[in-house]
Amino acid sequence: MSQGSLRASVVKLPVELAQDDSWRMESVLSKYENQITIFTEYLEEYPNTDELVWILGKQHLLKTEKSKLLSDISARLWFTYRRKFSPIGGTGPSSDAGWGCMLRCGQMMLAQALICRHLGRDWSWEKQKEQPKEYQRILQCFLDRKDCCYSIHQMAQMGVGEGKSIGEWFGPNTVAQVLKKLALFDEWNSLAVYVSMDNTVVIEDIKKMCRVLPLSADTPGDRPPDSLTASNQSKGTSAYCPAWKPLLLIVPLRLGINQINPVYVDAFKECFKMPQSLGALGGKPNNAYYFIGFLGDELIFLDPHTTQTFVDTEENGTVNDQTFHCLQSPQRMNILNLDPSVALEILKENLRMFELVQKHPSHWPPFIPPAKPEVTTTGAEFIDSNEQLEELDLEEDFEILSV
């Protein structure tokens, strides 16, 4: 398939929808919703180069490892627009097409964090291959249902506390704040989500968030482990409480005014080389992507702008995951076309895009680690109440906040 015919097929969709009677719209959507898999064999031309491709801390030699590269990318969970899910809030939209792209990118970033936590960065996915139970449990956290912790329902309704109406587009910092609050109700993963303020990461505040007080004198000490990615999770009713929560660090940045400043390009690319990297959220205004790596001066990203039908758990309790992995060749964007407002999920001392300090700045308000609110309903239900949403309202963007 030529590049020209690819463009023609993509552009044709909205025209055909506009000319179709409403009763035929569903059949037209069904025709196109999985078009992404049609192009599995179509590779956007990559240069014949000896350059390395970096994907979330792993390198691939493009000339000799193209299949390995595609396999690595397809293993990432891919969340896209969906339709036919239950209306958000009972009477809201039943599709997030046109407004939910940044929420889907946030889901992809968080899902990658959970995969690294439970399965490791080297875990690979193969079509129709039985996967570990942890994988299925991770996937179910993101299903489009009210009772799933990180569903589009939960994220959209939690966004109300951020001043976003349901159906309104989110920016990367808003998504970061929403995930920070929802993580308080995720006891299985027990993540500490830290969103930096004013381009500054404070080690002292992170330690306060991650350190868990022991349940008893017999509980091991509260020193953090050598690796923050260690899977120290508390299961069932075990009396053991981990001494250190795994950290998800999100750094909202503005790397320019109207476009990214070229002085940040090399530092931004270095982020994707870090083994702890979870990528970046960004793209263009009202057009979000999940950036996972780079080749030369081009960023590689997963695109959520494909509308697929809602998928639920099957009778055996598993999820058919075929539409949750992108099987096409990765898309690319010149780094200078990136919107300067991005959210990075990284931690490295020698980067100058943000500052890393040991102590909480004296001129800042006191840091209070976020805590789960005292509510009588489950985490999946509490955000249905506007009154309880008000209790979770946060201040302006880029402020250190507490729930």
**Unique residue bearing structure tokens 């719209």:** 25
333 and 325 Cβ atoms separated by less than 8 Å: no
Q: Please give the structure tokens belonging to residue 248.
A: 């998800």
Sign (positive/negative) of CA torsion 352, 353, 356, 362? positive
Which residues lie below 8 Å from residue 133, measured CB to CB, with a gap of 6+?
A: none
101 is catalytic: yes
60 is catalytic: no
- β-bridge partners, 325: 77
Which amino acid appears at position 88 of this protein?
A: I
Alpha-carbon distance of 181 to 283, in angstroms, equals 24
Alpha-carbon distance of 83 to 117, in angstroms, equals 30
Q: Which of 305, 321, 325, 360 is catalytic?
A: 305
Which residues lie below 8 Å from residue 162, measured CB to CB, with a gap of 6+?
A: 170, 174, 177, 178, 393, 394
Q: Please give the structure tokens belonging to residue 56.
A: 């979330």
CA angle in degrees (0–180, nearest 5) for 253-255-257: 115
271 is catalytic: no
**In the chain, what is the straight-line distance between the N-terminal and C-terminal CA atoms, in Å?**
52
Q: Which of 144, 303, 339, 397 is catalytic?
A: 303
List active site positions.
101, 303, 305
